[in-house]
Amino acid sequence: MLHPAAVEFIERLSLLAESAGIPRIGGCILGLLVMEESPLSSDELVSRLQVSKGSVSANIRLLESRGVVRRISHLGDRKDRFEVDASFPERMIERSLAEQRSMRLVAMEARSRLPSRYVRAKDALRRIEAFSTISVESMERMLTKWRESAHEDEAAATVHEDVAVS
Amino acid sequence: MPYVQGLMNGMVKLGRTACIGYSSGVKALHPAAVEFIEQLALIAEADGLPRIGGRIVGLLVIRQEPVAFDELVEQLQVSRGSVSTNTRLLESKGVIRRVSRLGERRDLFEVGPDFLERMLHRQLERHRAMQRISSQARKGLPAGQAPAKEALRRLEELSALLLESTEKALATWKKRGK
């Protein structure tokens, strides 16, 4: 049984995911996997979320392709299980970064290819380029920061394990 | 590959529109403009905006003048209902605005002066919501659920960083504009 706070989180996450272009069921799967402590099989996802098998498998594929969810298979277990990919926050940042980078590229290409009579359009494209450059730079700095903090966490976890072993 | 396919379809469609449009008085678009509109729409779609909405923004960016509702329908070769839904959505987000001109009875649309910032506001809102729901769930969960709480803490941290980065970019842009 999920705690009410967990249920609320899953519901709100799925609405949020929808506004970012991930179907609501995909958001529910992600939320459930964040809340569950062990990996879930697709049958379990079907019965927990009360949705069709087809919908679960389509959404799992989407989440896998975005590097958000990871498939694990165990010897002797015929069912694949799924868990949140540990590097999923990094994937999310990289995705936004890629979006901004392609925005810059698309504007740059259009500006250089448009004939000179498109004076005002070229000017608008130059603004888009400048804007995306600022976003890209800011996100690159943030990604570095995130990677550093992830390393610190790993280092801290290693120390804990060492203590536990000794 | 589906993206490339979508792009090709879009280009064919827009290309044809440009031809039809030319003969009926609508301004023909340069192929580079058509490609820009289509690419922008794909990027916007990945960000959760309907593709038609992205095309409307792209077309208005290229045209740089108020465009009539009927012209949007004609040039993008989509239904009136779809144009109306999407212009309303973009208006509510402050990305485009409706303008009226003396002696002009039709509604005209143009990109808002700060449409770039407005596009980023969407992301800003998402990061804020993400931070809020992760924090509330983490506080609401009982102490026994340590791994879930830890996962939520990381999500909070991530949203805070994303928020900070987007806000910094907006501030830099505003400073530059002055």
pLDDT at A158 over 80: no
The pLDDT > 90 percentage for chain B reads 54
pLDDT at B141 over 80: yes
pLDDT at A160: 61
pLDDT at B74: 93
List of long-range contacts for B1-6, beta carbons under 8 Å, 24+ apart? B3/B42, B6/B42
B48 → closest Cβ in A6, A21, A145: A21
- Pure H helices in B24-145: 31-46, 51-63, 69-76, 80-92, 115-140
Q: What is the mean pLDDT of residues B68-96?
A: 94
Contact pairs from chain A to chain B, CB under 8 Å? 137
Across all residues in chain A, what is the average pLDDT?
88
Distance, in Å, from the CA atom of B68 to the CA atom of A140, rounded to the nearest integer, reads: 40
Distance from CA of B90 to the nearest CA of A (A): 14
Across all residues in chain B, what is the average pLDDT?
83
Which residue type does B128 have?
R
From the list A61, A84, A81, the residue with the least C-alpha distance to A72 is A81
Residues of chain A numbered 124-163 and touching chain B (CB < 8 Å): 124-125, 127-128, 130-131, 134-135, 137-139, 141-142, 145-146, 149, 153
pLDDT at A79: 87
User: Tens digit of pLDDT for each residue in A56-113?
Assistant: 999 999 999 988 999 998 888 788 999 999 888 888 888 888 988 999 999 999 999 9
Q: What is the mean pLDDT of residues B41-62?
A: 91
B165 → closest Cβ in A6, A35, A139: A139
Distance from CA of A37 to the nearest CA of B (A): 7
Q: What is the mean pLDDT of residues B88-106?
A: 89
Sign of CA dihedral A121, A123, A127, A128: positive
Give the Cα-Cα-Cα angle B100, B102, B104 (nearest 5 degrees).
70
Q: Cβ contact (<8 Å) for A9 and B151? A: no
pLDDT at A162: 59
pLDDT at B4: 39
Residue B90 · residue B55 · CB < 8 Å: no
Q: What residues of chain A lie within 8 A of the CB of B134, using their CB?
A: 9
On whether ipTM exceeds 0.90, the answer is no
**Element at A82 (helix H, strand E):** strand A81-84
Q: What residues of chain A lie within 8 A of the CB of B136, using their CB?
A: 5, 8-9
The residue that leads in pLDDT, A160 or B157, is B157
B62 → closest Cβ in A13, A121, A138: A121
Residue B141 · residue B148 · CB < 8 Å: yes
What pTM value is reported for the model?
0.77
